[in-house]
A and B are shown apart, each in its own frame.
Chain A
Amino acid sequence: MSKKIISKIQGIAFNFTSMLFLTLATILFFFPFYWIITGSFKSRIDNMKLPPIWFPLNISLESWESLFKQPAFNWLFNSIFISLFTMILVCFVSTLAGYVLAKKRFIGVKFIFGVFVFAMALPKQVVLVPLVRQVAAMGFHNTMWAVILPAVGWPFGIFLMKQFSETVPTELLQAAKIDGCNEVKIFTDIVVPIVKPGIAALAIFTFISSWNDYFLQLIMLNNRAKLTLQLGLATLQGEFGTDYGLLMAGATLAAIPIITMFLTFQKSFTQGIMIGAVKG
């Protein structure tokens, strides 16, 4: 009996220490987020103070004013434009392809799927250098399409949509065909409604990764007005190294829209990560 009590006490002690450890760890994860928001509302002088002002009481808009002396609205617009069009194109291309890869049997379908699988195993970053030359040769380097179109080529979305399309009952498709539905109608009226949760997950996943795809943006865009928020912020870091208020305001502007989006669609997003893991 006493052995049981001891092990119970050990259990409680272990539980308490591990929760304490995790709670302390969350500080490291939450702090940057807290610090950019509060820092963006502190004056330049307050941001330089040591010990730092942990809870800002004197709200100052100084940093936001100097941020908007930069082309920050352009950057915001570009980030939204790029993420939005990447999302739309990826969803469109992947839903079409995922459906036929899951549900149609025809010559070459296995081969094509095999090629996609093989390409997925290759690291995306490695093709970026030849990709820049390719995009330059096609004449749209330094435009937003240079960031959007290459992201559509990556087959991750096709995998995700293939997984979701497997759940469409084959009998339903056959019945529709017997009723004389054409292929486009079968796709739009039967397949799309069933795989909608998959499209939602893919949409939000693509939007967030496109928003944060710093490397691709860095090598494709270099005109100051054409930058994204991530690039703009990186440029400001180079130019205004220790003007932390300005940098915090920029970081806040880059992070808040995407965090809001993440929190709103957290469920879809998490689902996307999990299904992507099954065969990713």
Chain B
Amino acid sequence: MNKIKKLSPQARETIVGYSFLAPAIFFFLTFVAIPIITGMATSMFNYTQKKFVFTGIENYIKLFNDEIFIKSLFNTTKLVVISVPIIVLFSLFAALVLYEKHPVVRAIFRGIFYLPVVTGSVAVVVVWKWIFDPYNGILNYLLLNLGVIEKEIQWLGTKEFALWAIIIILITTSVGQPIILYISALGNLDVSQVEAARIDGASEWQVFRHIKWPGIMPTTLYVVVITTINTFQCFSLIQLLTSGGPNYNTSTIMYLVYETAFKKYQFGYANAMGVILAVVIGLFSLVQFKIFSSKE
């Protein structure tokens, strides 16, 4: 204690500061920083359970000639392009409608929309697997009885339907957080402005377009970016429902990374895919930070 008291205040603050930060720095270095660095480094190696040979950018060249990788990249993009707009629009719509309702009604709806997130993908998938089950499932049963289809459809085993089936489940497990964020953003808007506009005879659409929409713009940007990042990393639904099939038609990059590393044990090649995915997602994050810092 005496020793510390003799030090200059600045030195003291530094020692205290680093003592408090020590656990955070330790965990961060060990489990985030070092894996990032080794991941990037080993992406330049032919690295399997037996081999460890430096090959430069060969893995990257191989990637862009790899049909399965291109297919997965395409699927991932398709997933993002289709589901992100639906998720954002649905959450915005739900929040706008629910915000005007009684707090209890609002809380109940908000809770229900968040329910699949808390329930967890694995448990939710159990039910959806039953819904899509070709012979014991409810969907084919209903469609057959209504006369819409004539014979059972293999929803998860058919190229045309499998990705759509995944998109539906992905949407139900993704809107919970955006709705919470939008409702809270609407609560932070200046109420007097909205009321003044209404008294002046503005229609609800005008109020939305000129007051609410600009006011919640930062939230929209945040929601778009996190939803995009999360969708890019879509994994558990794929692994649990289709394992990327049929014939890699629902494989995403994240799923392919998993398969390459833990089923085929090509660690270097998997890390190269991971780096590409990180770069793509990093660009999105960069855009987010740029937009946020220009607003503030």
Contacts and interface: CB of A to CB of B under 8 A. Distances in A.
Interface of A: 7, 11, 14-15, 18-19, 22, 25-26, 28-33, 35-36, 39, 48, 50-52, 92-94, 96-97, 99-101, 104-109, 112, 115-116, 119, 121-123, 125-127, 129-134, 149-150, 152-155, 158, 182-183, 187, 208, 211-212, 214-215, 218-219, 230, 233-234, 237, 242, 244, 247-248, 250-252, 254-255, 258-259, 262-263, 266, 270, 273-274, 277, 280
13 contacts: A18-B97, A28-B172, A104-B20, A121-B286, A130-B271, A237-B122, A251-B119, A251-B126, A255-B118, A273-B177, A273-B180, A274-B184, A277-B181
B31 A155 contact: no
B126 A248 contact: yes
Contact of B23 (A39, A96, A129, A258): A96
Contact of A123 (B100, B180, B277): B277
Contacts of B10: 106-107
Contacts, number: 246
B44 to A, nearest CB: 13
Contact of A126 (B113, B123, B274): B274
A22 B38 contact: no
9 nearest A-B residue pairs (beta carbon): A153-B31, A251-B123, A97-B24, A130-B39, A121-B285, A32-B127, A130-B35, A106-B14, A153-B27
A233 B128 CA distance: 14
B54 interface: no
Contacts of B123: 32, 36, 233, 250-252, 254-255
B28 A119 contact: yes
B108 to A, nearest CB: 9
Say what secondary structure dominates the interface of chain B: helix
Contacts of A154: 31-32
A242 B17 CA distance: 56
A121 B257 contact: no
B227 interface: no
Interface in B95-141: 97-98, 100, 107, 109, 111-116, 118-130, 133, 136, 138, 141
Contact of B42 (A19, A130, A187): A130
Interface stretch (B60-68, B70-78, B189-197, B231-239): B231-239
A93 B100 CA distance: 40
A257 to B, nearest CB: 11
B222 interface: yes
A247 B285 CA distance: 38
Contacts of B270: 129
Contacts of A108: 14, 18
Contacts of A266: 107, 111
A13 to B, nearest CB: 12
Contacts of A116: 28
A195 B18 CA distance: 20
Contact of A155 (B28, B93, B100): B28
Q: Which of A29, A52, A115, A215 has the most CB of B within 10 A?
A: A29
Contacts of A30: 112, 115
A22 B240 contact: no
Given A119-B28, A183-B16, A274-B181, 8 more contacts: A32-B172, A104-B20, A109-B17, A123-B277, A129-B261, A149-B27, A255-B119, A273-B177
Contacts of B20: 96-97, 99-100, 104, 183, 187
Contacts of A28: 168, 172
Given A116-B28, A123-B278, A215-B236, A29 B38 contact: no
Contacts of B130: 35, 244
Contacts of B35: 127, 130-131, 134
Given A22-B98, A134-B31, A233 B286 contact: no
Contacts of B236: 214-215
A150 B26 CA distance: 11
Contact of A26 (B112, B121, B129, B138): B112
B146 interface: no
Contacts of A219: 258, 262
Nearest to B120: A212
Nearest to B113: A29
A273 B39 CA distance: 30
A32 B169 CA distance: 11
